[in-house]
A = this chain, B = another copy of it.
Amino acid sequence: MFKRITIIGLGLIGGSLGLAIKRKRLARNVVGVSRRKTTIRSALSLRTVDSATLDLAKGVKDADLVILTAPVLTIINIARRISKHLKKGAIVIDAGSTKKNIVKKVEAVLPRGASFIGSHPIAGSEKSGVMYADRNLFKGARCILTKTSRTDSKALGKVKRFWAGLGMKVEIMTPDKHDKSISKVSHLPHAVSAALVNSCNKKDLHLAAGGFKDTTRIASGSPELWKDIFLTNRQNVLSDIKIFKRELSKIEKALKKASSEELLRLLKKAKSVRDSI
> Do the beta carbons of A260 and B184 come within 8 Å of each other?
no
Could you say which residues of chain B place their CB within 8 Å of the CB of A268? 223
Q: Say yes or no for A84: interface residue by CB 8 A criterion.
A: no
> A198's contact among B182, B191, B252, B273, by CB below 8 Å, is which?
B273
Q: Taking the nearest CB of chain B, how far is it from the CB of A40, in angstroms?
A: 26
> Do the beta carbons of B277 and A205 come within 8 Å of each other?
yes
Please, what's the 1-or-0 string for A217-251, where 1 marks a CB less than 8 Å from any CB in chain B?
11111111011001100100110110111011011
Listed stretches A13-21, A49-57, A155-163, A206-214; interface member: A206-214
Q: Taking the nearest CB of chain B, how far is it from the CB of A208, in angstroms?
A: 4
> Do the beta carbons of B216 and A189 come within 8 Å of each other?
yes
Q: Taking the nearest CB of chain B, how far is it from the CB of A226, in angstroms?
A: 5
> Do the beta carbons of A238 and B214 come within 8 Å of each other?
no
> Do the beta carbons of A248 and B241 come within 8 Å of each other?
yes
Q: Say yes or no for A263: interface residue by CB 8 A criterion.
A: yes
Q: Give A267 to B190 CA distance when docked, in angstroms.
A: 10
> Do the beta carbons of A267 and B223 come within 8 Å of each other?
yes
Q: Give A124 to B212 CA distance when docked, in angstroms.
A: 12
Q: Taking the nearest CB of chain B, how far is it from the CB of A252, in angstroms?
A: 5
> Do the beta carbons of B195 and A208 come within 8 Å of each other?
no
Could you say which residues of chain B place their CB within 8 Å of the CB of A207? 122, 142, 144, 181-182, 185-186
> Do the beta carbons of B189 and A211 come within 8 Å of each other?
yes
Q: Taking the nearest CB of chain B, how far is it from the CB of A258, in angstroms?
A: 6
Q: Give A124 to B209 CA distance when docked, in angstroms.
A: 9
Q: Say yes or no for A123: interface residue by CB 8 A criterion.
A: yes
Q: Taking the nearest CB of chain B, how far is it from the CB of A5, in angstroms?
A: 24
> Do the beta carbons of A191 and B251 come within 8 Å of each other?
yes
Q: Say yes or no for A266: interface residue by CB 8 A criterion.
A: yes
Could you say which residues of chain B place their CB within 8 Å of the CB of A219? 267, 270-271, 273-274
Q: Say yes or no for A45: interface residue by CB 8 A criterion.
A: no
> Do the beta carbons of A247 and B199 come within 8 Å of each other?
yes
Could you say which residues of chain B place their CB within 8 Å of the CB of A255? 230-231, 234, 237-238, 241
> Do the beta carbons of A238 and B216 come within 8 Å of each other?
no
Could you say which residues of chain B place their CB within 8 Å of the CB of A216? 189, 215, 270, 274
Cβ-closest 5 pairs across A and B: A223-B267, A194-B270, A195-B248, A195-B247, A197-B270
A-B contact pairs, 5 of them (CB 8 A): A122-B209, A197-B270, A198-B266, A219-B270, A231-B255
